[in-house]
Amino acid sequence: MGRAENLREGVSPQTDELASTLMGDALDLLAAGEPFEVLLAVQDSSGEVLSFEFVDDGPEACLEGARAKVRELEDAVRYALVYEGAIEDDDGSYADAAILEFGERGYHSYSAFSLVDGKGSGDGFTWTDPAPAGELPPLL
């Protein structure tokens, strides 16, 4: 009997809001052409949101650093992290995307993505509504 069997399905409104806000911030940065590796938002039991940006280590190291930060914050209740990546299309080509990972203590953790185009073009920047990308191992 593993811990994952006792986790709740779905996403609480608080986690949805945290993830949506962070994704919106990332899309704004992409539209403005502002580079980032990994953005992380963590909410604690008092409702305070802590924000982190992981840079200068390469994408994989920054992503691992963000995941480790979530695990080490003892009072963390929910988190969301976002980074740039690519999603494979049906024809085998890749499209730029903002990739979101999010979870909450006691819940399954999930990922989603929005396809993006026109980075740095301001009003010419476009994105798709977030689409589910699957379940992830929980960090909390």
**What pLDDT shows up at residue 10?**
93
In the predicted structure, residue 5 carries a pLDDT above the cut 80: no
Give the whole-angstrom CA distance, residue 17 versus residue 80.
10
Percentage, residues of the chain above pLDDT 90:
91
In what helix (H) or strand (E) does residue 74 lie, and over which residues does it extend? none
- Nearest Cα residue to 116 out of 102, 130, 106: 130
In the predicted structure, residue 39 carries a pLDDT above the cut 70: yes
pLDDT per position as a tens digit, 47-80: 999 999 999 888 899 999 999 999 999 999 999 9
